[in-house]
Structure 1
C-alpha cells in the first residue's frame, strides 16, 4: 500500500505528534508498506529518509502550547506537488484542524482521507472563527481516528461524528533494551537516596514542572542522596529557579536529547514523574516510561488514569498538589517491592501499545476508508489561500 502521512507540526522541534508519526511510519514500513511523510522542516534539517520537508515553520499558540506550523500559498503548492508525486492509496493526516499542512492536504486530496485527532480541546477562538472551513474539512475526511477516549469524545459531542479509538503506540523494545546512562540510577536506600526523572518542556506551565520542583526541594532537604534527572528543551537558569544553591548539584539537566538518549534517560530513574496540570488527551511519555520499566507517579488527570489502567500501572496523586506528590514519592522511594510491582504491571500494559500491534489497527482503518471511497475521487477542487 502507498501511504501518505502529513504532520502539521515542525520536525525541527520534537513533540508527541511528531514522534507518533515517525514511529507509525517506521512500523508501517516494517510491515512492508511504502510510506512518505510530509512535515514542516527546513530543507537542510536532518530527517529520516521517508520524510519530505515542506519548508520553514512559524510559532503559533495552540492548545495551551506553541506549535510550529506552515501555511499559505507556497505551502499549498508544496502539498499538491507531494500528493501528485505520491499517488497514494490513502492519505493519513494528523490534527487536520491545526492551521498547517494537514488542513491543506485534506482540502487538496482527491481520494480517501484518514484523520487522526490527538487533542481533547473543545473550544478555540481559531476554530470558532474558521467554522465554515472546518465543515469543508470534515466533509472530505473518510475515516477518523482518536488517540484516546477524551479525543473521541470531542468528535462525538462537538464535531458531529464518531472516531475509531486507537491509542498512541510505543516502540517497546527500544525502551526496554536501552542501557541506563553511566552512573544512573544509583542507590535507593530507604530514607536517603533515589533518582526521580522528568522529561518535557519544563517551561510550559501545563507540564507542571513547578509542582515537581517544589516537591523535590522539600524532599531533598531531608534525603541527602536524592537526585533529579531532567531532559527537554529550555534554559538551565529557568530550571533552577527557586532551587537553593546547595541542592542544585543534585539536579542533572540533560537538555534536549535524542530519541536514543530519551530511552536511556527513562531507564536511569527509579521513579518517573508526570506532574502535568491539564491539556493532555493521552500521555505518550507514560507509555514510554512504562516500556522502560520505570515506576510511575502521575497527576490524577483522566487521560493519565486511563493510560495507567486506573492506577494499576502507576501511582496517581491529586493534580497540582506538591505536598501530595512529595508524600507519594516518599512512600515509593522507601518501598522497593511496590516499585517492582508497578514496574512489572507497567511493562504488561505497555505491551498492548507496542507499535506493530497499533499499526495493524491503523491499517484496518485505511482498508475501510479505501473500500468506502471505492476508487472515487473528489471532483470539486479547492482553490487554496491567496
Structure 2
C-alpha cells in the first residue's frame, strides 16, 4: 500500500471503507446489526464497503462480508459475547487489510479482545473507532488498557453511540468522542402492516418483549414477576415474547404456573416479523436491568407505533426523552412495572401522546441522518491522517500484547 493521500476531493469521489465487527454473526445482536446497516447505508450513498466478521462456515453472511473464522464465547458486560482473537485471526486480519486498500478503517469496540483490537494493532492511517459499551466498572477494560493504550493513540476519530457509552470511554480510557446514535431504518417500521394474530383489543391488549431470554439483564424475569399483577387487573392481557433462550423460557413458565397461558413464546423472529409484531401490539415492554448504552429496539418500537414502557435506565430515558416519548418505571422493580403497565393500558390518550412524540423523536435516529454524521467523522479522520490505511511491517508488538493478555486471562 502507498502512503499517498487519495481521499475524496470536493468532487465527492466515493470512499473505500473497511469495517470490522467485534462480535460473531453466529448469534447476531445490536452491534452486528448496526455494522450491517451502516455498511448498507454507506453503499447506498455510493461508497465501497467491506466488512470483516467472525462467523462459522455454515453461518450465512452478506456478500460484502468476509469471515475470519469461528468465534469463542467470552463473558463480557453481563452477557456472553462470541469473538474471534489470537495469532491465526491476526494473520487473517492482516491479509484482509492488505487486500482492501481502504481509505478509512472503521473499528467497532476496538478495545475488546476481538478482530477489532487486532486490526487496531496491525493497521495505521485514517482509523475511526466506535464505542458501544456502557458500564460502571469493568475488569476486562482494566486488564486490557495497558496493552491497548499505545494503539488507542492511532484512532484518529472516536464515536460513542450514546452519552452512556461516551462516559464509559472517558472514565475507563480517557479522551472523548462525538456522540452519534445507532441508526434505524424508520420507514420499514412505519409502513409495516399489523398481523391480526398479534393485534390487541381493549379487553385483551397485547404486550411485546424482544430479547435474549437467557440473559438476566434483558429483563424477562422482571416482566415475568409483573405479569400476575397485570393479569389481576386486566385478565385478558396477552404477552408476546420473542427471542432465543430455552432456559429463560423454561424459567418463566415455571415462575408463572397456570398464568403462563397468557404468554406466547414466539422464538426467534425475522426482521419483517419484528416490524409486524411492533406494529401490532398496544405496548412494547423494555424491562432491561443494565448494560444498555442505547436501546435500538426502543427506536424500532417507536417507529412502528407501539407505545413503549421501559425501565428508567439512563440510556432509555434519553431515547424516550425523559418520559415524553414513552413511559418509564423503576429499573428492576416488577411491582412498579405492573402498576405502570396497567395504567398505560387503561389510558388510551396517554398512549396516543407518547406515540405522537415518539414519531417525531425517531427522525433523529434514521440512517439518512446518522450516515451523514458518520461520514463527517470519516472526513475528520482523513484530514488528520494524510495517508490511506496501511499495515505495520513489524508484528512483534502485537505478539507481545497477545502474550501479555493471555497471562492476565484476557484471552485464550
Report the TM range for the smaller structure's normalisation: over 0.9
Q: Is the 8 A contact 1:231 1:257 kept in 2?
A: yes
- Measure, in 1, the Cα distance between the counterparts of 2:169 and 2:225: 37
Q: What is the CA distance between 1:380 and its match in structure 2? A: 6.2
1:193 aligned counterpart, secondary structure: coil
Alignment of 1:1-386 (within 5 A): 1-187=15-201, 189=202, 192-235=203-246, 236-245=249-258, 247-375=259-387, 381-383=394-396, 384-385=398-399
Question: Between Structure 1 and Structure 2, which shows a larger proportion of helix residues?
Answer: 2
- Measure, in 2, the Cα distance between the counterparts of 1:350 and 1:210: 28
Q: Which has the higher contact order (CA 8 A, sep 6+)?
A: 2
Q: Is the 8 A contact 1:294 1:343 kept in 2?
A: yes
- Measure, in 1, the Cα distance between the counterparts of 2:363 and 2:142: 39
Runs of 4+ in structure 1 off by over 4 angstroms are 376-380
Deviations 1:354-385 (A, max 9, x none): 01110110000001101100117576633334
Deviations 1:242-279 (A, max 9, x none): 1122x222211111112222212212210011111111
- Measure, in 2, the Cα distance between the counterparts of 1:301 and 1:174: 27
5+ residue gaps, structure 1: none
Aligned Cα root-mean-square deviation (Å): 1.6
State the TM-score, normalized to the length of structure 2. 0.89
Deviations 1:284-327 (A, max 9, x none): 11111111111001111111111111111001111111111111
1:228 aligned counterpart, secondary structure: strand
- Measure, in 1, the Cα distance between the counterparts of 2:214 and 2:280: 22
- Measure, in 1, the Cα distance between the counterparts of 2:142 and 2:122: 22
Q: What is the CA distance between 1:353 and its match in structure 2? A: 0.4
Q: What is the CA distance between 1:219 and its match in structure 2? A: 1.5
1:264 aligned counterpart, secondary structure: helix
1:249 aligned counterpart, secondary structure: helix
Matched pairs, number: 382
Residues 48-57 or 149-158, more deviating? 149-158
- Measure, in 2, the Cα distance between the counterparts of 1:371 and 1:210: 49
- Measure, in 1, the Cα distance between the counterparts of 2:215 and 2:124: 39
